[in-house]
Amino acid sequence: MRPLLITSDPEMLDDLLRIVAAVGAEADVAPDLAAARRIYGKAPLVLIGADIEAEDLRRAPPKRGGVVVVSRVHNDEAGWNLVYDVGAEHVIQLPTGELWLKERLTRALRAEPEGGKVVAVVGGRGGAGASVLAAALSVTAVREGRRTLLVDADPFGGGIDLLFGWEQEHGLRWPQLAEAGGRIDSDTLVGALPNRGDLVLLSCDRTDDGEGDRSPRLLPDVMQVVLSAGRAGRDLVVVDLPRHLDDAAECALRAADHALMVVTPGLRSTSAAARVAGAVMSHRDQLSIVLREPVSGRRRAAEVAKVLGLPLAGRVRTEPRLAAAMENGLPPGASPESNLAMLCARLLRESLS
Ligand SMILES: Nc1ncnc2c1ncn2[C@@H]1O[C@H](COP(=O)(O)OP(=O)(O)OP(=O)(O)O)[C@@H](O)[C@H]1O
Ligand SMILES: [Mg+2]
């Protein structure tokens, strides 16, 4: 089992060969995508240098999983373009991403199972109920004995820790994690984040960095590290996404095994959801909808699903007492017999099987 390295940059090749050797393997090497075609589909993992030119893509092999773009430049635009073109799972930056790359190589070469599943949740409009569903999925998973990481990926969402009453809980939030960059490995991540029992939270926070930065943002390379650490150390990772997809959200969408969009009925909501779905589907093939409805009605749910052209994963009733319960520190999904919790239990059975 030899990973495939595709680069014509001698320094990049040296680095990749050294990293492959460090995990006790040897690699096949090709200078471009066309030359790699014969073995491209068979390698356990494909690493493509960001030096590979877009022109080569016309003769590129068919898309496959287990492809990582490797760059030396932070937020490398050429690297990201290549990710889209070849359908790669990540763009990783050297040297910061070296540890991640070694972990990924080790996993691919041992043909270990992928580990925990990643489920991403997005709202079809503002206030649709995506964060509530993400929290309820996590609470339900923990109740069923699954080790769970809930990742708040909405820097303008106010912090998902508030939904759990965990705002005073010690542990890292996104800004401190971003400072640590790619240097946090799977084991230390879980211990460093706020956690209780089987639930671990990576929340945004509400602090101003004091330097006048009013546009908090999450870094895609940190998201990559978090998701792969989550897969390695947890049974489930739930990502609560913003509707305006930033690089970190796109990274999570690409990595997720399942994506759910919470939609509310009505013309404007459905039109908004169609726009969000369009953006989501440029990063992945699968997206299912959860309809939150004020009143039950199968026909309406089926109609919304049909208009959006997406499969209906389930419906959830608006629970009048949910807001008050949350105010009292009871997270969504805490009551196992609630409509929301029962939906989550079914969604988890389906997405984790
Ligand atoms: N199943 C539900 N039953 C009752 N109320 C709900 C439900 N889901 C969401 N809500 C209400 O809608 C509000 C907004 O939900 P939530 O924060 O989950 O939406 P969102 O899609 O994440 O919104 P945003 O655009 O802010 O990210 C909640 O505070 C809650 O009051
Ligand atoms: Mg939200």
| C-alpha 157 to ligand 2 mean position (Å) | 6
Residue 11 identity (one-letter amino acid): E
Nearest CA to ligand 1 atom 29: 323
- Who has greater pLDDT, 15 or 110? 15
Whether residues 155 and 257 fall in one domain? yes
Percent of the chain exceeding pLDDT 90 equals 51
CA-158 nearest atom, ligand 1: 26
Q: What are the residues whose beta carbons fall under 8 Å from the beta carbon of 244, sequence distance 6 or more? A: none
Helix axes 339-352, 130-143, angle to 10 degrees: 70
Structurally, the chain folds into a number of domains equal to: 2
Nearest CA to ligand 1 atom 2: 318
Given this model, what pLDDT does residue 343 score? 96
Given this model, what pLDDT does residue 91 score? 86
Q: What is the CATH number of the domain that holds 187?
A: 3.40.50.300
Whether residues 328 and 284 fall in one domain? yes
List C-alpha distances in Å: 209 to 58, 151, 176, 215, 234.
45, 21, 11, 10, 31
Given this model, what pLDDT does residue 77 score? 82
Average of per-residue pLDDT across 160-174:
91
Question: Which residue out of 322, 326, 339, 343 has the highest number of ligand 1 atoms within 8 Å of its CB and is therefore the one to mutate?
Answer: 322
Average of per-residue pLDDT across 61-75:
84
The single residue listed with the structure tokens 């984790």 is: 352
Q: What is the CATH number of the domain that holds 70?
A: 3.40.50.2300
> Which tens digits make up the pLDDT trace of 188-209?
888 899 999 999 999 998 876 5
Q: What are the residues whose beta carbons fall under 8 Å from the beta carbon of 268, sequence distance 6 or more? A: 125
Question: Which residue out of 121, 125, 132, 244 has the highest number of ligand 1 atoms within 8 Å of its CB and is therefore the one to mutate?
Answer: 132
| C-alpha 65 to ligand 2 mean position (Å) | 29
- Who has greater pLDDT, 172 or 295? 172
Which of 43, 75, 110 is the last residue in one of the domains?
A: 110
Residue 212 predicted with pLDDT over 60? no
| 244: containing domain | 117-352
Whether residues 60 and 86 fall in one domain? yes
Given this model, what pLDDT does residue 320 score? 86
Whether residues 223 and 334 fall in one domain? yes
- pTM of this prediction? 0.73
Most confident of 100-114, 121-135, 198-212: 121-135
Given this model, what pLDDT does residue 285 score? 83
Whether residues 153 and 302 fall in one domain? yes
Whether residues 103 and 173 fall in one domain? no
Whether residues 144 and 205 fall in one domain? yes
Q: Please tell me the distance from the alpha carbon of residue 329 to that of residue 331, in angstroms, as a whole number.
A: 6
Whether residues 208 and 270 fall in one domain? yes
88 half-sphere exposure, CB direction, 13 A CA radius? 25
Whether residues 149 and 265 fall in one domain? yes
Which of 110, 130, 157 is the last residue in one of the domains?
A: 110
Most confident of 118-127, 184-193, 330-339: 118-127
Given this model, what pLDDT does residue 304 score? 85
Average of per-residue pLDDT across 325-351:
91
> Which tens digits make up the pLDDT trace of 261-297?
999 988 899 999 999 999 999 888 899 999 998 754 5
Whether residues 53 and 173 fall in one domain? no
| C-alpha 117 to ligand 2 mean position (Å) | 21
Ligand 1-lining residues (CB < 6 angstroms): 123, 126-132, 154, 157, 243, 262, 292, 316, 318-319, 322-323, 340
Given this model, what pLDDT does residue 255 score? 87
Average of per-residue pLDDT across 177-184:
67
Whether residues 334 and 199 fall in one domain? yes
Residue 228 predicted with pLDDT over 60? yes
Average confidence score pLDDT of the chain: 87
Which of 95, 110, 125 is the last residue in one of the domains?
A: 110
Whether residues 251 and 281 fall in one domain? yes
